A and B are shown apart, each in its own frame.
Chain A
């Protein structure tokens, strides 16, 4: 990571970070035990650890979604791809296939799904919402087809470890996901990929005229997003030790889009903030946990989420921005 980007990102993630921190502080005031982390039988436990673990799966999907949204697109099919990947895992493990091969297949099938989306969007020029809607609808059916409509229980303890295991007392899944975030960050920022993605999202015509391979770049981000969803499907299946093709990944596309937008990447494309997405995903999970701690039934939790997203999109809207700047100017004069 280079210095200029660090500074810029730091400025831009200040908002979501402030939101996350104030939520944590609020919780800590309400319940001092909230931030407490204990070491039990060599494993860390506590609400913050739970938040990390719980958000890992959505966070991974949001990683791919960040890049897709940065090109000015969106991928609605990720939830269905999660279900497909989970189904593939269950069937292959039941069949006695090696764990590594299983995971590779799940990720590969996710990438294939992403590639199809990319083909529709980049080569055939289909609107992203429309193109990914196809797989969103059909994908869950395919997942159910793979597992024959059953919920297949997975018995492999090695497989379960991926989601629920601990390494040196730290839960493995969030560590894996955060490592992927760091790796992705380095790959896109150390190569020119990040620049290309932002360029395409900011002004596609100008990017094409400057000689960028726009279609290839777009296909690539959808492919990556599919692969992330595939791996997330592995985590989901490992977490519940089963492939539930009906519920796995349900509403995940929405949570992922939320995390990206709350994290400061605009839905219109252009600049993206990988770090912002991490914070966005954590913020949403913390909000859910807070609701839970306050005794609000989990089913009502979408309400604050909805208010948050409206607030964030209003803050990002140009009209409100101009109005706020106007207020500040008046204030400065007065």
Chain B
């Protein structure tokens, strides 16, 4: 019998990085609650989600791309592009918001698909191609309009004012959207063949090939899906700000990548968890809220703390992954 060789590994040990991330979130949130009066409250907790809704949605898509061992630098620019596209379509071309959203989603998905095709079919580095995608989307956004366009449509007002009350918790539309996307992302990542294929491709492409998994399709699809997520984030951004702005989301891709890495997903691919991304969003948002609450701490501490967390996590991952 060979069974004696292995003991049952505990859930905690298997999901160590997730546990570490959760502990860091609890620690940060606890510290902030300790220091700042009124931090420990439902509205603050809800605002962690609603204030970072479009960043969070982008992070969900980014998680899937990073699962596959790729990266997508274009998401920030796609958010800016879709937001101004939608705003212009509604304001100047009098399109119904729903139609405008559809056009925006099509545009985002189309751009993602094209990048995926280039990356897979010509074996080009994702880094470079999505960089080009970023420039393209940013340029096109500014081509549509160089200035921010406000959206005045009664449908928009209604949607943005929509909220659900759950006990003492009042969830606004943007938070609901984020939660929905997170749930969908969770299902895709952990309960579909597609999600597991992505992890297999990122974990060991050669093996995935020999296992007969549909590599090419999965790779193209994940960039398409991420383009869709970015467009969705763009829509939520228009809801949140009530306008479209071609300059929106500059540098947002970095925050999204940081969130994914802080969530314990390996940037080289093959290992990760969508719950980690949720925790990453919460950690990111907690730091931001704490700095805002403090009032004395300047905004740049945000970047320094996030950078330091990145360093800690990357070193931690290297230590955990050293061959035993």
Contact = CB atoms under 8 A, between A and B. Distances in A.
Are A and B direct contacts in the complex by CB distance below 8 Å? yes
Interface of A: 74, 120, 124-127, 129-131, 133-145, 148-149, 245, 254, 257-258, 261, 267-268, 297, 299-307, 309-310, 313-314, 317-320
21 contacts: A124-B318, A126-B314, A129-B71, A130-B268, A130-B314, A137-B303, A138-B311, A142-B303, A254-B135, A257-B128, A268-B125, A297-B142, A300-B139, A302-B138, A306-B134, A306-B135, A307-B136, A310-B129, A313-B122, A314-B122, A317-B122
B124 A317 contact: yes
B139 A137 contact: no
A128 to B, nearest CB: 10
Nearest to A309: B132
The 6 lowest CB-CB distance pairs between A and B, nearest first, are A138-B307, A141-B303, A303-B139, A299-B142, A144-B300, A302-B135
B128 A303 contact: no
Nearest to A296: B143
B176 interface: no
Contacts of A136: 254
Contacts of A254: 131, 134-135
Given A129-B71, A306-B136, A318 B267 contact: no
Contact of B122 (A141, A149, A307, A319): A319
Nearest to A77: B307
Contacts of A302: 134-136, 138-139
B257 A133 contact: yes
B303 A124 contact: no
B106 interface: no
Nearest to A130: B267
Interface string B254-273: 10011001000001100000
B300 A257 contact: no
A137 B122 contact: no
A125 to B, nearest CB: 7
Contacts of A303: 135-136, 139-140, 143
A47 to B, nearest CB: 22
A299 B250 CA distance: 13
Nearest to A148: B298
A15 to B, nearest CB: 17
